[in-house]
Amino acid sequence: MLEIVQLPVLSDNYIYLIHDRSQGLTAVVDPAEADPVLTALQQRNWDLHFILNTHHHWDHVGGNLKLKERTGCLIVGARSDKERIPGIDIELDEEDVFDLGSSRAKVISVWGHTCGHIAYWFADDEALFCGDTMFAMGCGRLFEGTPGQMWESLAKLKNLPGPTRIYCAHEYTQTNGRFALTVDPENAALIRRMNQVNASRSKNEPTVPSKLAEELSTNPFLRAGEESIRQNLNMENDPDLAVFTEIRRRKDQFG
């Protein structure tokens, strides 16, 4: 089983240390910075063996080379993005598996936010590390991919088990929820969740991870087929992809 440590860095990023207790192996997911990782490792007397990158953006790979130099760890990332992952050693494709001791992750290709974005799903631990593809009540901006690619990627993640914990890379939940209410204002589950989120953020508590079951009932980017959202957008007869694209367009303007 994995021990997961969440490290808040920069203004709203999360780095994750994941530690396989059975064999004493440790990885870090998307290290924006090296120093907070090194400090957390020292506090726990853990050695770092791997970096797992989801995509190439600087706030996910900024600590790669310093951590590799200081610890001798191996850097893991997408084969299709190997030219943009600093120091990459292990290249992975869709459906590949990555073993961290006794803990096994399935690699899921989730293009959209970037081309080459991947996620790591540890099924036995009910943990998904999805970078900037899915957020709590949101999804990533389409910097490189298309709406169709992102919709396809989210469809893959929607099919994971409901108890799966979504370890996304940013604390965007409050803003995402405010936007969600503009397209899904009568959703009772969303209203309840936003009350909880607002209470947590007022105490500076994290709202990540969430569970996939929560996202399925409150995240508008997963709910393009819902009649209530379609009615609010005046898109009752449009394909799901068109509805998703409109939701993403509105969120880009919302902030």
Active site residues: 55, 57, 59-60, 113, 132, 170
DSSP state of 8: E
Q: If you search the block for the tokens 């799903």, which residue do you land on? A: 121
d(CA 151, CA 139): 10
User: Is 172 within 8 Å of 208 (Cβ atoms)?
Assistant: no
Report in angstroms the alpha-carbon separations of 253 from 40, 109, 199, 237, 250. 38, 27, 26, 24, 5
**Consecutive H or E run containing 51:** strand 50-52
As a whole number of angstroms, the distance between CA 226 and CA 156 comes to 18
CA distance 104 to 89: 18
